[in-house]
Structure 1
Amino acid sequence: MNDKPAVTVRDDPERGVFLALLDDGTEAGGAYYERSGDVVSFDHTEVPSELEGQGVGSALARGALDTVRARGERIVVKCPFIRAYLERHPEYQDLRADRG
């Protein structure tokens, strides 16, 4: 199956996570964070093993970073997945509060 699942990203601030949601509303992963003022510190990202390699993680990272940008916030990256995503997508580097 080569079709990538459609993913919607939604912020759940009470849980401190950007959620990846499939079309049927199923949670398909999360980018966990802590917020301090206008800085979002990404700590950990999870995608179920059965969905790995299907673009869910990338859609999650993109949606979370686009949301942060739209809100005028900055990021600190502790999560290896988000760090790797930023290396592949330099257009998001300007969001980093942990870089000069």
Structure 2
Amino acid sequence: MEHHLIDNTEKKQYEFQVGGHTPKIEYIKAQDKIYLTHTEVAKALEGKGIGSELVRQVLEDIKKNDLTLIPLCPFVAGYIKKHPEWRELVLKGINIA
């Protein structure tokens, strides 16, 4: 299932609209860097891959906009650990354990 990524700049979050819920990743942008600080998916949507799809689409947007990523959110860091092809976006020197 493909979801439409929304960059809600007013709320400083990327989000989907899914069945009355708003899965989101909160961020802070500073110059050419983006800090992903928190991911939230409603309990009703857990286990359906929506969080992973949200992270994937956010990473695509970060790459498209040539931003450097600082993944402060453990869910985002875990996704990048499982999908190392995205490590190129991460600020050099940041270790994703």
TM-score between the two structures when normalised by the length of structure 1: 0.85
1:20 aligns with 2:55: no
**2:5 and 2:93 mapped to 1: Cα distance?**
26
Which amino acid is the alignment partner of residue 76 of structure 1? I
Percent pairwise identity: 27
In structure 1, the residue matched to 2:37 is: 43
C-alpha change, 1:39 and 1:27, in structure 2 (3 Å) is: farther
Corresponding residue of 2:74 = 80
In structure 2, the gaps of 5 or more residues are none
Whole-Å Cα distance in 1 between the matches of residues 92 and 73 of structure 2? 13
Gaps of 5+ in 1: none
What CA distance in whole angstroms lies between the structure 1 residues aligned with 2:38 and 2:63? 19
Structure 1 position 95 matched with structure 2 position 86: no
Counterpart mapping for 1:51-90 below 5 A: 51-90=45-84
Could you tell me whether the CA contact under 8 Å between 1:74 and 1:96 is conserved in 2?
yes
Residues in 1 aligned to 2:55 and 2:4: alpha-carbon distance in whole angstroms:
11
**Shift, 1:98, TM fit:** 5.0
How far is the alpha carbon of 1:28 from its aligned partner?
3.1
Alignment deviations for residues 42-95 of structure 1 (CA, whole Å, 9 cap, x no partner): 110000001001010011000101000000111101101000000011111000
> TM-score scaled by structure 2?
0.88
The 3 A distance-change label for structure 1 pair 38 and 98 is same
Q: Where is the strand percentage greater, Structure 1 or Structure 2?
A: 1
